Structure 1
Amino acid sequence: MNYYERAKELSEETVANRRYLHTNAEVGLNMPKAQAFVMGKLKEYGLEPKECGHGVTATLGKGGKVLMLRADMDALPMPEESGEPFACPSGQEAHACGHDFHAAMLLTAAKMLKENESELQGTIKFMFQPAEETFEGSKDMIENGILENPKVDAALAYHVAAGQMPVGIFMYNDNGTMMYSVDGFRIDIKGKGSHGAYPQNAIDPINIGVHIYTALEAIMAREVDPTKACVMTVGKFEGGTAANIIPDTAVIEGTIRSNDKQARELMVRRMKEAAVKTAESYGGTAEITMLSEVPPLICDPKLTDEIVGYMKEMNIPGLTPYPGISASASEDFATIAEKIPSTFIYLSAGYTDERGQYGAHNPKVQFNEDVCPIGSGCLAHCATQWLKNNN
């Protein structure tokens, strides 16, 4: 089967599925509409899906090696200002990262692979994942057995990319860290409140928070190897309700990211130590909660080169490789890639006109639906070829 040509025939269906998910955007782990929609479509296509944690899985094939194809399907908790007629009407959720594309393209790939199941030389497992944006989905599905029964040998995922670039560019990294780790943290500072006129009677949690913030900056300036790519950002600092009241508590939230395992471990450890010790030195306490703990996304070089080779042999017009990509953003798929050989590839879904001026996570972002047959075709073709050459 020529999967790209078949994907073009199914393009309207792929777009319709994408638009349904877009209009009915959901966030986090609990995604009942998306879960029901995906399961319904897979059943319609002749598969036997089942719930896996808060996600959906299905398999097809005839034993042998197992390749997993993964698509996330969650949106972001933000308003949508894309101007698209199928925009989410809630005003609270928006598919501003393109995960609706991922789920729709994988659904079409599943349909094509089912049509060609007799020719498969192994097994394909599908992973439709919630909660990528909150870095909970992969762990949820791993804990519920997504990598077992049958045991997965390798995994492939695509991610669409918005911006001012033509459809057809695909970006990958076969020799290093593709995306950074992410360790989100929350520091709950406890002090002792009082009237603002009598600070001597208080243990000021805002003052403690300011010194914790300074200590975190010092870690970055004086303890982290400057040859490593590292980021520590405090994006939330809350404390107090009135100008003349010293509160009992304050809260700091932030994120730590790195492309280096040792640097990541250092920053996380020292963040915790600095927060606790600084609070103690001013008479208060600090309690740390880790909001996310995702490793760097490091793609398997051999698998990546194989998949890139399969994509090149498809002779899709305009399909152009862009190797060596690396980004300081993070990706929940890294939790899968840490456990089994995996690769992750960006597919351009941008525009070269004014529609491409906004990137992912912007309320005005628009994605080009011309990418749909490329994504669906590549998923099915690469899976078929990998099984053929690895069994």
Structure 2
Amino acid sequence: MNDLLKSAKAIEETIVKDRRTIHQNPELGNDLPQTTRYIMDRLTEMGYEPKEICKSGVVATVGKPGKTILLRADTDALRMPEKTGLPFASQNPEAAHTCGHDTHAAMLLGAAKLLKDRENELCGTVKLMFQPAEEILAGAKAMIDAGVLENPHVDAAVAIHISSVTQPAGFVGFTKGGSHGSADKFVITVKGKGGHGANPHTAIDPITAGSHIVIALQEILAREIDAADTATMTIGAFQSGLKENVIPDEAMIMGTIRTKSSKVRTFMKQRLVEVAKAVASAFRCDCEVEYPFGVAPLENDNDLMDEIVGYTRDLLGEDKVQELPGGMGSEDFSLVTEKVPGIFLRLGAMPSDPEKVFPAHNPNVLFDESAFPIGSAVYANAAIQWLKNNQ
């Protein structure tokens, strides 16, 4: 067994303890006081000097001057209950770590220990990024705005996400090119003129206009997007009116646009505005379109992926590293990969009992804890080998 894997296995009990502690105390968004304090205390115990560079965003470095590689773990939970019945289940009835961010934080703490023990061997700097608010796609931006990619400047970045369904425990998955879709929330406000249902000719009906907008928007996907491109548009809410005989003043339509291509993303956002305004105008209504938040598709740097995958195969064996198809879920690590070469890996932690296999975001989701030290080793190995070969 590789020396790094042996060292990771030797601290498995500590990694699991860290994970269970964070798991029991899930927090939401960027309001993670207990999680942040725990991570900073653990890093300090190892000899680091961690800094909270923005609310709940923690950074620490190890190594010496030279190239810098960033290792990222997200740390927030989801607003939902947990139903696993585990002895270390969430103590917060309104939040749970059902996406596995507790495991990411614990694995990066494990990697921090492995790297600190080998600091004299590092051929550059490793920057550890503990990021809040991934579930609301806000944490990466906050940390970037706070300077996580500078001082020292980051030359490469690696993130790992655990998986409860796609791979056995300890297997690593990768996707070249686009691995995650963009996500842009849109809000369309259709403004008409309210009136009595008995006299619709004196009003301007935003519900009728909004209904035609919903139908017309489908033509963007059906007739304007190349069938070879991956894209989707979902209308998830249509709200208007409170009374059966009152024509309201306004209607509100909300939805999301997702695509694997930055070019298609820009085109769809532009065309949505044009179509919505044109249709609203045809029905004598005014129309406003807003994009309250959004993240780009996550596009992995293929050269960096080939390099890190090679190091990971050397660490775990050829058969333990597998190429996987991408998906349309979104990840705000894409904001990092927009600015520096970066890659996103998946770590299998599927329970061996098929009856205990549930997907992420499910209140019953379980992760095989034997995968955690492997995740720590993969993080640390990627940094050690990349710095060694990119001086």
Query: TM-score, length-normalised on structure 1?
Result: 0.94
Match of 2:289 in 1: 288
Tell me, yes or no, if the aligned pair for 1:171 and 1:321 is still in contact at 8 Å.
yes
**CA distance in 1: counterparts of 2:333 and 2:130, whole angstroms:** 12
Contact 1:162/1:356, CA 8 A, preserved across alignment: no
Letter in structure 2 aligned against 1:183: D
- Verify the 8 A CA contact 2:166 2:348 in the aligned structure 1: no
Taking every aligned residue pair, what percent have the same amino acid on both sides?
A: 46
In the alignment, residue 230 of structure 2 is paired with which amino acid? A
Shift of residue 127, structure 1, vs aligned partner: 0.7
Write the distance in 1 (CA, Å) between the matches of 2:147 and 2:107: 24
Q: 2:165 is matched with which residue? A: 163
Aligned to 1:310: 311
Offset of 1:121 from its aligned partner? Answer: 1.0
Aligned partners of 1:203, 1:357: CA distance in 2, in Å?
52
CA deviations over 1:339-375 (Å, ceiling 9, x no partner)? 1111110111112423444211222222221210110
Call closer, same or farther: CA 1:82–1:250 in 2, change over 3 Å. Answer: farther
Counterpart Cα distance in 2 of 1:202 and 1:75? 46
**What is residue 252 of structure 2 aligned with on the other side?**
251
Q: Letter of the aligned partner of 1:366 in structure 2?
A: L
5+ residue gaps, structure 1, are: none
Does the residue aligned with 1:346 lie in a helix, a strand or coil? strand
- Whole-Å Cα distance in 1 between the matches of residues 366 and 240 of structure 2? 37
Q: Secondary structure at the match of 1:207?
A: helix
Residues 1-391 of structure 1 correspond to what in structure 2 (within 5 A)?
A: 2-54=3-55, 55-163=57-165, 165-174=167-176, 176-315=177-316, 320-391=320-391
Q: Distance in 1 between matches of 2:289 and 2:325?
A: 33
**Given that residues 170 and 370 in structure 2 are in contact (C-alpha distance below 8 angstroms), is that contact kept between their aligned partners in structure 1?**
no
Offset of 1:313 from its aligned partner? 1.4
1:337 Cα deviation from its structure 2 partner: 0.7
Matches of 2:245 and 2:82, distance apart in 1: 39
Deviations 1:2-37 (A, max 9, x none): 222122121122112112222221222222222222
Q: Distance in 2 between matches of 1:195 and 1:362?
A: 46
Deviation string 1:313-340 (CA, Å, 9 cap, x unpaired) is 1246x96121152111111111111111
> How many correspondences in the alignment?
389
Counterpart-to-counterpart distance in 2, 1:29 and 1:288: 27
CA 81–149 in structure 1, closer or farther in 2 if over 3 Å, else same: same
Distance in 1 between residues matched to 2:287 and 2:40, nearest whole Å: 45
Partner Cα distance (1:119, 1:97) in 2: 34
Assess, with a 3 A threshold, how the Cα gap between structure 1 residues 123 and 272 changes in structure 2: closer, same or farther: same
Q: One-letter code of the match for 2:179?
A: M
Q: 1:44 to 1:202 in 2, by over 3 A?
A: farther
Quote the Cα distance in structure 2 between the aligned partners of 1:304 and 1:123. 19
TM-score by length of 2: 0.94
Please state whether the residue corresponding to 1:313 is helix, strand or coil: helix
CA distance in 1, matches of 2:126, 2:81: 36
**Offset at 1:114?**
1.0
**CA deviation after TM superposition for structure 1 residue 64, in Å:** 0.5
Query: Offset of 1:284 from its aligned partner?
Result: 2.5
Structure 2 Cα separation of the partners of residues 144 and 299 of structure 1? 23
Q: CA offset at residue 194 of structure 1? A: 3.1
Q: Tell me the amino acid that sits aligned with residue 366 of structure 2.
A: Q
Contact 2:350–2:357, Cα closer than 8 Å, also in 1? no
The Cα of 1:248 is off from its aligned counterpart by: 2.7
Structure 2: give runs of 5+ residues left out of the alignment.
Answer: none
